[in-house]
Amino acid sequence: METVETERANRSIGETVPVFEALDLLSTSDPDQMWRDVDARQDATPEGAGQRRRLREIRDRGALLPRPENHVGFRHAEASPQTGELPLGALRKILGHG
């Protein structure tokens, strides 16, 4: 039987794959190249912009609510008729009021 911690760790590992893909870390085993790929996401180039967009996992009209410890508290990929209500509901839930 898996513990809650094991389930959470396994879920977290699965959630890192899109991040590694967006940073192009799965294409090499060279640590120096990995660091260059991570640094490249900061570049003011179309490639850097593409990496940042893939890391956010939201469109230009989506919403992202980071928690104080820099974890994602809420993410909505695209605009929605409830765009204003959705982050507010997420914030209430994060704060334990919903």
Between CA 48 and CA 40 the distance in angstroms is: 6
Answer yes or no: is pLDDT of 43 > 80: no
74: left (phi over 0), alpha (psi -120 to 50) or beta: beta
Per DSSP, 3 falls in state: -
- pLDDT for the residue 98: 65
**Whether pLDDT at 45 is above 80:** yes
Task: With 0.85 as the threshold, say if the pTM is over it.
Answer: no
Mean pLDDT over all residues of the chain? 77
Report the pLDDT value the prediction gives residue 1, as an integer from 0 to 100.
Answer: 58
Q: How far apart (Å, rounded) are the C-alpha atoms in residues 61 and 72?
A: 17
pLDDT at 53: 75
Question: Measured between alpha carbons, how far apart are the two ends of the chain, in Å?
Answer: 31
Average pLDDT over residues 1-11: 72
Q: What are the φ and ψ backbone dihedral angles of 49, each rounded to 5 degrees?
A: -65, -40
